[in-house]
Structures are given as structure tokens and as C-alpha cells.
Amino acid sequence: MTRDAILPLESYRLVQYAVPIPCYVCEAENTYDAEYCRNCLAPMALAHQANSQKVHPRMLAVIGGSAVGKTVYLGMLMDMLSRNPEKMQLLARGAFSITLQQMTMAALARCTFPEKTANEPDRWNWVHCQIRWPKQRIPMELIVPDMAGEALLEEVDHPHSYRIISSFLKKCSGAMLLIDTVKLKEGNRDQDYFTMKLVSYLAELSDDPKKSWSRRPLALVFTKADQCEDCVLDPCGYAKSHASGLWQHCQERFAIHQFFAAGVAGSCVWRESRTRGRVRVPLRIEPFGIVEPFVWLLEQIKAHGPARK
Amino acid sequence: MDRIDQAIFTSAETDRGSGYQIAAASPGAGEADLRELAAWGPSHDSLIDPTAGAVSVNFHPLPSGAYCVSRTTPSGWEYSGRGGVRVYTQCLIVPRGVLARFANNPFAVMRAATASGLVRQYDALPEVLEPFGLAGRAAAVDAALLARLSANPGPEWMATLVQAALDSVSVAVAGGPPAEQLIAGLVNCLPPECRTEFSFSTGLKFSSRRPFRVVALSSHPEELRRVERLYNVAVLRLKDNPPAEFAPIESWPRLIHRVLKSGRVSFLAGRLSRRDLKISSEDLSLWGLQLLEELDASSMANDVYEAEPAANGSEPAGAEEPARAEARGGPLARPVERPALPAPTPPRPEPQSVEPEGPEADRRQAHAPHRKFDKEVTAPTVSKRRPDCPSKHLDPGSPAVLGKLERLDDLVFEAISGKTDALDELKTLWLAVRGELDQRLVAESREQYLRYALSVWSELQGPDGTRNPARAAQSLEVLCVLFDQA
């Protein structure tokens, strides 16, 4: 006896293509099976995951120049928060969210720094995570991409050359701006100028005073601070003396900002490698000041940041 | 002469910033073009093969109407100390007129620029790059390349590649011959007017930010699967059989298939060299149909002479399969005829009139050509000059020598068309045949082959009066074999 069964027509599978899925970053419409947004190249997994949740994720930007340490900072931050549930627990959502942490920690374990982040947005690592506090019932969902410094520079110099950057920064609830302490200490003013460009770009992103960056929290983190004791002791004073342009911009344009100092590698040396050329090698891993800027930013977002609808 | 501006996209520390950027440029390069170059520029870990000596040739349009022909190579190490090779791209901003001189073939432009020493890696990046002029031209079709690709991956795959390129937004190829040869072959299969619509990269990793129409893929399975998941990208794995979804159903891919399979690359070369109409990709189907008919007609005309019945009704000795006749690769739709040999009777005089009569007249085109190509169409006629092939003067009682001479004819035609293995075999066979012929017949053979070579040379003239030096070299080499060993 043949049992009846109801099977959808093969052609019915095409119906799914009739319902577009908007990208979570730029809101451009894409097909349901698209891996990357056709407009901004953000992973569509973010949209699928966000649609399945009641709490919509907030977006957090970690920006800075090339080789300032964004990848190392983010990877170390994810690793530390995922292993320290007492104060704040981080849970990765989606397998792709663990790639950055895995890559960073694997490189540091080999006494190397992670390779340079490519400029192409479809090769960036994205983190979608859930932050839980022990005494708070409602978690916070966050999306944090690891963007390439050159892409940021290109977008700042020529707006809309990287659509994903402009779309993402417009919707961010807060940002972390990384500054290379070593270059500042050497007297290289490029870091000061670049960060001034970035904050100016942020300030001009939105015309609406209610949604402008002047009301969003901005954490300014001096990276590689293990090589500068003055910076660790007084980051704000260090900024005032060594990055005066940036300090002045922040005073005038960003109501909610704070300076921090952070470091990951205790000491670094140069090594000549036949297969990799002249590479910088961390002799030991001594992270400090990694979590504090992030905690401060989240607290400011909860208190002041605009809620995503 | 139009000047070619340059730009270098690589990782460097400049006044503007650090990292991958336009590190140097010519003063004449427009701002919009430089921004486009920065958008397309490959950054860290963009090369499929990061080893020393790897090269990627890239081509894409620019906002100004010019085109970027660039070469990407690994160059030293990443400056920031994070390891990895530095990716160095030298971009040539080629005006439309200059590209047209090279038959819209970016590979030809890059070869010419490289041969002139204008494409090189700078150890210390100059502040300003000087624009330069590029002399020279290129033939519409590289017959030797197409002959190689006919052997590997074969006419079926080449036709499939053309079909996929016409149908798809992006085509990614994996496996098979080197990507540079394969993509160059694809370019050569297209009319020069259509080539600028197909941007390509022969050695950069696929990225949605660089929307090349034709790209090469590494053989890494994960990369293949990743790209296959993307829409609007057709992945062709050349180690497998050609996919049915890209079977050559349109006329142009079918034409390519016919041309490559029959070895009549010179037919394609002649047609692509002579055309001066504004052909776009939308016209390819029409023109493909037209050329298919011309190809059929020229093949049939060749068969007509092959199949002329003998006076005594016997099967003509010169009759052979149409495929073999087509494989001679004779001049444009004018194959060299070898009239049939009557078996017991002396050779009959060959008529000079060349218009086929009777049933052969019905084999002409059954309909008038499309009005767009009307001016270019000539009624398919056989050659008005019929070289007196040596084989007809032989004693028909020696079929072995007859066969050798027929084989000699084939080898001479194929060698002049560019087949290197035919030349090698010709050298051996000529020695053997020459010893069996009398001096009069040897001289007559040489004369007829010389006439044929000259006819090929005179007919393969481009619209601007230039000729393909490679074809001349091939003909000369054949003649050297036939004459130097006297």
C-alpha cells in the first residue's frame, strides 16, 4: 500500500527567492541564500541571526590605522571575555564569530602576530556575540567587525569607496579608536593626523543632532602601551601631550569619550625569516587594559547609546 | 602617439599613510581613474600563488574610458613586520586607441610593454611615474595559442568557456592549462570589438570587490566550494567534463568549436582581422551564424574538388574525407585543390573556371546574408588559382608515391598554418620523397608550394596593411625545408 505524502513542488523552492532578506548593515535587499550582501559585502549570516532573535544586535566599531593592533586587540578581548564569566561573559553566536579569536590566539601561541587583514570586506572577520552580566537578566547582542586599516583610510579620504564602512559606522552604537603608542612615542605625527581624520569623519557622518556621533561613546585606546610607561599611568595626559590635535578634537566634538592604554605583548623583537621576511615577534604575552575600554563602552552604550529599532 | 599613464598599487609608507595604496602615479592619471585603481587594487594575500615568479595579468575598464592593464607580482615582504609577501601591482592606464592597435588584447599590450622594459618593479618607489608611448601592433588572433588550446583542453572546453563567458556575469576557471593561456585563448576567441567587455584576472583570488568577468581559481577545494556558493559566478572545473548547462548552443561558441576542431584557425583569424564594423556582444550571434555558413561553404567547396568523379567512373584517388580536407588549414575559404587523378588515363587538363556548376551551385548559401554583413559577404567560390599539385603528374601506377605526395601536400599546408609537429614530420618526409622523384617534379613541387606560401602571405593582410610576422616566419621555415635541402 502506498502511503500518501505531501511534498512541495520543486518549483516552490523558487518562491523563497521572492522574499528578499535585507542586509543587517546597509539594509540592501538580497536573496535568502546569499552569503554576502551584494551591496556592502557584509555577511548575510548577521541578518539571519538577527531576524531569529528578539533582541536586535548593536554594532560596535573598532577602528584605527594599519598595523595599530585591531586584530590582536579584538582577538585577545574575545578570548579573555570568553574565559572569565564572573564579571562579564561573552558567548559567540555563529561559528564564524570564533574565527578571529582562534586565528589571533593561534598566531600568538606561535610567537607571531596575526597576518595583515586584507582590504576586501568579504575577507574580514566578523564577531557576533552575546554579552551577559551575572546580575542582569537582559543580555546585550553585539556585532563587531575586524576592519582593515587601509580600507578605513580610503573611506575617510574618499567617502563611499567602502560602502560597508560608511553604512556600519552610521549605525554603530559606539566605537573604539586605537592609536599606536610606539609611533607617537617616536615622534611620528601620522597617527595623530590619521586619528584626527577618523574622528572628523565620524563627526560628519550624520546631520541629525539626535543621531550624531557627538552623543555616542568613543573609547580611545593607546595600543602597544607596554612600551610607554607614561601612557599607562595617565592616558589622557599622554594624549594631551603627544596627540594634542586628537585630544582637542575629542574635547570639542565628542561629549562622551575617554582615553585608555592597553597592551598585549610584553616585549617584542625583530626576526629575519626566510619564508616570511622580517617579522616582529612577541617574546611574551602579557595583556593589560584590554577589557576596561570595552566594559566602559558597554556601560556608556547602555546608559546613553541609541537603541536599535 | 597616445601616452600611457602608470600607477603602482602596493603596500608602502608614504606621506598619505601606511599600507596598500596608490603609492606612485603619473601626473596625467585622473583622480577618478586612480580611485578606481585603488578599488580594484589587490591587497595582502591576494595572489593565488604567492611564490616568487608568480604573475597575474589583470584587465578592467576605467571611468575615463581608458582601460587598466596591470601586472601583479609578489615583491619583497610586508613592511609592517607581520609577515607575508608584499603584493605589487603596476597599472598601465591604456587609452582606447592604443588598446585598439593591439587588437584590444591586453595580453599583447602587456607583452609589448614588458618587452620594452616599461613594466618593472621599483625597489624605491619614485615620486612621479613618467607616462610612455608604446609602439607596435598585434594580430587579431594568436593562431599558435589557439592551436595549443585545441590540444589541451580541447575544442569542446574552449567552446564551453566562450559560452559561459557570454552567458554569465562572472566565470571562474580551475584546473586545466595555465590560467594565463586559457584566458588569453578566450580573448583570442572573441572579436576585438567585444574584448573590452570582458575584464579578467589570471592570478588574483576571487573577491566580490574585484568584479572581474573571468578569473582563475586555485585548486584548493575549500576555495572552489566558497566561490561556487556565490551567485552570478559560474565555476568551470577543466579537469572534469564540460558542464551541460554551458554546452555551446549559441552560434559564436559553435563557430569556435568548429574552427578549433577542424583546425581552421586561419579562417577565424582572417575574419577577425578584416572586420571593421562596430560589433558588440549582442551582434555575436548574428555574425556567428554568418561565419558558420561561410565556414560550411568553404568546406563544401573544398569537398567539391575532392569529390569530382573521374572520366571512367572510378573513384578518384584524391577523394578524402571532408574533415581531412578541412584540416589543411588553407587560406581563407580558398583551400588548395588537389584534383582527382584518373586511374588508367593520362591526366586531364584542369579547367581555369572556378564556378561550381550543376549540383554544386545548389550548395551555395540558400539565403541572402543579413544586411548588416552584406558588404562583407562574398559568394563562396573556390580559388581561381589552382596550384598544379605534383601528385597529378605521377605515374598512377605507383600508389605508394602518390600517397606520400598527398601526405606531403597536407604537411606543407599544416606547417604553414602553424602546426609545429607537421613541420617536424615534413622535414623527414621531404627527404624521403625527394629521393624518389625526378628533378623536374621536385622543381615543380617547390614552385607550387612557393606559390601557395605567397598566396597565404598576401591574403592575410590586416585592415591597416600589416601582416602577422609569426605567419611569415612559419611560411619561411617551410620553404627553407623545401629549398635548403636541394
Asked if the Cβ–Cβ distance from B81 to A41 is below 8 Å, we say no
**For residues B325-333, average pLDDT:** 39
Please tell me the distance from the alpha carbon of residue B10 to that of residue B19, in angstroms, as a whole number.
8
pLDDT at B96 over 80: yes
Q: In chain B, which residues have their Cβ closer than 8 Å to the Cβ of A280?
A: 80-82
Confidence of residue B362 (pLDDT cuts 50, 70, 90): very low
Please tell me the distance from the alpha carbon of residue A160 to that of residue A141, in angstroms, as a whole number.
27
pLDDT of residue A166: 93
CB count within 10 Å of CB A75 equals 25
What is the pairing mode between strands A58-64 and A174-180?
A: parallel
Q: Which residues are registered as beta bridge partners of A174?
A: A60
Residue B241 neighbours by CB under 8 Å, 6+ apart? none
Residue B116 neighbours by CB under 8 Å, 6+ apart? B132, B134
Please tell me the distance from the alpha carbon of residue A115 to that of residue A97, in angstroms, as a whole number.
18
pLDDT of residue A145: 96
Q: In chain B, which residues have their Cβ closer than 8 Å to the Cβ of A39?
A: none
pLDDT of residue B346: 47
Which residue of B35, B89, B209, B226 is the best one to mutate when testing the A interface, meaning the one whose CB has the most A CBs within 10 A?
B209
pLDDT of residue B324: 40
pLDDT at B377 over 50: no
pLDDT of residue B145: 94
Asked if the Cβ–Cβ distance from B77 to A31 is below 8 Å, we say no
pLDDT of residue B222: 84
The string of pLDDT tens digits covering residues B425-470 is 888 888 888 877 777 778 888 888 888 888 777 766 555 556 667 7
Residues in chain B: 486
Residue in A189, A271, A263 with CA at minimum distance from that of residue B82: A271
Q: In chain A, which residues have their Cβ closer than 8 Å to the Cβ of B80?
A: 66-67, 116, 280
pLDDT of residue B322: 38
pLDDT at B378 over 60: no
The string of pLDDT tens digits covering residues A171-212 is 999 999 999 999 888 888 888 888 999 999 999 887 777 778
Which residue of A99, A116, A147, A155 is the best one to mutate when testing the B interface, meaning the one whose CB has the most B CBs within 10 A?
A116
The string of pLDDT tens digits covering residues A59-72 is 999 999 999 999 99
A108: closest CA of chain B, how far (Å): 12
Residue B472 neighbours by CB under 8 Å, 6+ apart? B457
pLDDT of residue A207: 72
**For residues B123-136, average pLDDT:** 88
pLDDT at B350 over 70: no
Asked if the Cβ–Cβ distance from A279 to B82 is below 8 Å, we say yes
B20: closest CA of chain A, how far (Å): 6
**ipTM of this predicted structure:** 0.84
Confidence of residue A306 (pLDDT cuts 50, 70, 90): low
Mean pLDDT of chain B: 79
Please tell me the distance from the alpha carbon of residue B246 to that of residue B112, in angstroms, as a whole number.
34
Does residue A190 sit at the B interface (CB-CB below 8 Å)?
yes
Q: In chain A, which residues have their Cβ closer than 8 Å to the Cβ of B231?
A: 31, 33-34
pTM: 0.73
Closest CB from A118, A153, A279 relative to B45: A118
Asked if the Cβ–Cβ distance from B230 to A36 is below 8 Å, we say yes
Is residue B180 a contact partner of residue A93, using CB atoms and an 8 Å limit?
no
pLDDT of residue A252: 92
pLDDT of residue A14: 77
Residue A110 neighbours by CB under 8 Å, 6+ apart? none
Asked if the Cβ–Cβ distance from A113 to B210 is below 8 Å, we say no
Locus of grid cell 529599532: A309
Does residue A272 sit at the B interface (CB-CB below 8 Å)?
no
Which of B37-41, B47-51, B264-268, B389-393 comes out lowest in average pLDDT? B389-393
Q: In chain A, which residues have their Cβ closer than 8 Å to the Cβ of B209?
A: 41, 119-122
* Chain-centroid distance, C-alpha B360: 32
Asked if the Cβ–Cβ distance from A35 to B230 is below 8 Å, we say yes
Q: Which three cell numbers stand for residue A73?
A: 586587540
Q: What percent of chain A has pLDDT above 70? A: 98
Which of A59-73, B76-90, B316-330, B453-467 comes out lowest in average pLDDT? B316-330
Q: What percent of chain B has pLDDT above 70? A: 76
Chain A residue nearest residue B77, CA to CA: A277
Is B156 or A53 the better-scoring residue by pLDDT?
A: B156
**For residues A40-68, average pLDDT:** 90
Is residue B124 helix, strand or coil?
coil
Please tell me the distance from the alpha carbon of residue B333 to that of residue B380, in angstroms, as a whole number.
7
pLDDT at B472 over 80: no
pLDDT of residue B463: 58
Amino acid at site B133: G
Residue in B360, B387, B357 with CA at minimum distance from that of residue B304: B360
Which of A57-66, B276-285, B370-379 comes out lowest in average pLDDT? B370-379
pLDDT of residue B128: 86
Is B102 or B306 the better-scoring residue by pLDDT?
A: B102
Closest CB from A113, A120, A161 relative to B43: A120
Please tell me the distance from the alpha carbon of residue B47 to that of residue B202, in angstroms, as a whole number.
10
Q: In chain B, which residues have their Cβ closer than 8 Å to the Cβ of A270?
A: 81
3-state helix, strand, coil split of chain B in percent (to 5) is: 45, 15, 40
Residue in A69, A57, A61 with CA at minimum distance from that of residue A128: A57
The string of pLDDT tens digits covering residues B161-201 is 999 999 999 999 999 899 999 999 999 999 999 999 999 99
pLDDT at B72 over 90: yes
Confidence of residue B230 (pLDDT cuts 50, 70, 90): confident
Amino acid at site B112: A
Is A40 or B399 the better-scoring residue by pLDDT?
A: A40
Locus of grid cell 548593515: A25
pLDDT of residue B184: 97
Which of A149-158, A239-248, B53-62, B401-410 comes out lowest in average pLDDT? B401-410
The string of pLDDT tens digits covering residues A60-117 is 999 999 999 999 999 999 999 998 777 788 999 988 999 999 999 999 999 999 989 9
Q: What is the 3-state secondary structure (H, E, C) of A168-194?
A: HHHHCCEEEEEEEHHHHHCCCCHHHHH
Q: What is the DSSP letter of A146?
A: E
Asked if the Cβ–Cβ distance from B20 to A119 is below 8 Å, we say yes
Does residue A29 sit at the B interface (CB-CB below 8 Å)?
no
Asked if the Cβ–Cβ distance from A120 to B18 is below 8 Å, we say no
Q: Is the peptide bond before B153 cis (omega within 30 degrees of 0)?
A: yes
pLDDT of residue B166: 94
pLDDT of residue A50: 87
Residue B263 neighbours by CB under 8 Å, 6+ apart? B147, B150, B326, B327, B329, B414, B417, B419
What chain A holds in terms of domains, given with CATH numbers, is 15-52 (no CATH), 54-69+107-115+148-304 (3.40.50)
Residue in A63, A61, A27, A19 with CA at minimum distance from that of residue A44: A27
pLDDT of residue A276: 76
**For residues A137-161, average pLDDT:** 91
pLDDT at B401 over 90: no
pLDDT of residue B326: 39
Please tell me the distance from the alpha carbon of residue A77 to that of residue B47, in angstroms, as a whole number.
31
Q: What is the DSSP letter of B314?
A: P
Confidence of residue B302 (pLDDT cuts 50, 70, 90): low
Please tell me the distance from the alpha carbon of residue A192 to that of residue A199, in angstroms, as a whole number.
11
